[in-house]
């Protein structure tokens, strides 16, 4: 009888022990998950463009995030708003930001493309959507080390239409050359906690309830000193895969406030239907495919001298 009792107590204690261990470990990992991650943003450059910013300082540098397969989008941008240009006497230069892939033929093609056009900035991180923060920070690092002489920098995407004429005009009017950051302002955004959303962010990645003010990643513009400062604070800011939020966190730490470029809306992250007169007075528009890009740019170029009624 006492044997059975002993065995019962033994099993009870064993189960209790396992339960304690289980919950103990769980709360331990739970605790660890609550701590934000800080990432050292480094890696090696695989390609650098041929440009000497000391000799020939651009007024505006456009950094376009792109992926290895988007060859046609890059070619279209080179023929349209990303062409090397002088607007109101100011030099504008466009570069593409790329990562690496394990596909050898894609890597070779990117190297050849870079040698031909001299406009590719590439590092050895894996080129995937959720490494966009690394791609953006590569751009900041590049400006910091290779082109701090530029006056302004725009970070944008390869499915964007950029009216560099109007952007230059507004930047000259604004006459701000330090600690300036503009774009489509997002002042009150919250992390999406629904697991199946493209923008799902776990509490592990971002434990706080609200995002800092940031500008839509589709296109934002800043004075070049901001690139150095953002790059400088980037490894003391919790890492988040949403690059625009990450830059917002850096700006918050630097106490750099977002500003509107113009009293009217000029950045259109949700897209905008085309008319020449409308596109004359915008800076950036999302969801533009290569054939439209060519058509819109052509329409804009031939109407440059003309004014639109009522605007």
Ligand X SMILES: *[C@@H]1O[C@H](CO)[C@@H](O)[C@H](O)[C@H]1NC(C)=O
Which residues here bind ligand X, judged by CB under 6 A?
125-126, 128, 130-131, 175, 228-229, 232
Least Å from the CB of residue 217 to ligand X: 16
Rounded to a whole number of angstroms, the minimum distance from the CB of residue 57 to ligand X is: 18
Residue 135's Cβ-side half-sphere holds a number of Cα atoms within 13 Å equal to: 28
Nearest CA-CA partner of 48 in 146, 151, 127, 149: 146
Cα(231)–Cα(299) distance, integer angstroms: 38
Q: What are phi and psi of 114, to 5 degrees?
A: -65, -40
Which is closer to ligand X, CB of 140 or CB of 258?
A: 140
Nearest-Å Rg of the Cα atoms of the chain is 24
Question: Please, which residue, 236 or 273, has the CB nearer to ligand X?
Answer: 236
DSSP string, 259-276: B-SSSS--EETT-----H
Residue 232 C-beta: closest distance to ligand X, Å: 4
The half-sphere exposure of 54 on its side-chain side, counting CA atoms within 13 A, is 3
Q: Dihedral of CA 272/276/282/286: which sign?
A: positive
Q: How far is the CB of 103 from ligand X (least distance, A)?
A: 14
CB 239 to ligand X: min, Å: 11
Closest distance to ligand X from the beta carbon of 145 (Å):
11
Q: Which is nearer to ligand X, 116 or 175 (CB)?
A: 175
For the bound state, the minimum distance from the C-beta of residue 165 to ligand X, rounded and expressed in Å, comes to 18
Closest to ligand X by CB, 260 vs 292, is: 260
Closest CB to ligand X among residues 77, 98: 98
Looking at the Cβ atoms of 162 and 237, the one nearer to ligand X is: 237
| Min separation Cβ 171 and ligand X, Å | 11
When the beta carbons of 141 and 286 are compared against ligand X, the nearer one is 141
The span from the CA of 198 to the CA of 154, in Å, is: 25
CA distance 173 to 262: 10
* CA dist., res. 46 & res. 204, Å (int): 32
The residue assigned the tokens 């959303």 is: 197
Q: In what order do the strands lie in the sheet with 161-162?
A: 161-162, 284-285, 267-268
Q: Where are the alpha helices (DSSP H) in the chain?
A: 2-33, 71-79, 104-117, 132-146, 164-174, 224-233, 243-254, 276-280, 290-302
CB nearer to ligand X: pick between 240 and 272: 240
């Amino acid at each position: 009888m006492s044997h059975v009792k002993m065995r019962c107590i033994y099993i009870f204690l064993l189960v209790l022990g396992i339960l304690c261990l289980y919950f103990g470990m769980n709360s331990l990992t739970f605790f660890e998950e609550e701590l934000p991650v800080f990432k050292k943003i480094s890696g090696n450059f695989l390609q650098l463009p041929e440009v000497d910013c000391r000799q020939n300082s651009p007024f505006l540098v456009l950094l376009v995030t792109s992926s290895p397969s988007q060859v046609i989008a890059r070619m279209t941008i080179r023929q349209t708003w990303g062409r090397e240009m002088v607007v109101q006497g100011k030099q504008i230069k466009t570069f593409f930001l790329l990562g690496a892939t394990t596909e050898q033929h894609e890597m070779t093609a990117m190297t050849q493309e870079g040698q031909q056009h001299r406009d590719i900035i590439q590092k050895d991180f894996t080129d995937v959507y959720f490494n966009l923060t690394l791609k953006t920070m590569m751009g900041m690092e590049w400006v910091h080390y290779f082109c701090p002489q530029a006056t302004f920098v725009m970070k944008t995407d390869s499915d964007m239409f950029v009216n560099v004429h109007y952007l230059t005009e507004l930047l000259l009017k604004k006459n701000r050359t330090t600690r300036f950051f503009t774009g489509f302002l997002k002042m009150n955004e919250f992390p999406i906690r629904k697991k199946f959303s493209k923008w799902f962010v776990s509490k592990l990645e971002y434990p706080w309830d609200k995002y800092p003010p940031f500008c839509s990643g589709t296109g934002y513009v800043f004075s070049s000193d901001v690139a150095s400062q953002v790059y400088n604070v980037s490894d003391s800011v919790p890492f988040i895969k949403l690059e625009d939020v990450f830059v917002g966190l850096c700006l918050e730490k630097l106490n750099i406030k977002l500003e509107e470029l113009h009293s009217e809306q000029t950045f259109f992250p949700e897209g905008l239907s085309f008319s020449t007169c409308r596109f004359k007075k915008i800076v950036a528009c999302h969801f533009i495919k290569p054939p439209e890009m060519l058509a819109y740019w052509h329409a804009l170029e031939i109407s440059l001298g003309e004014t639109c009624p009522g605007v």
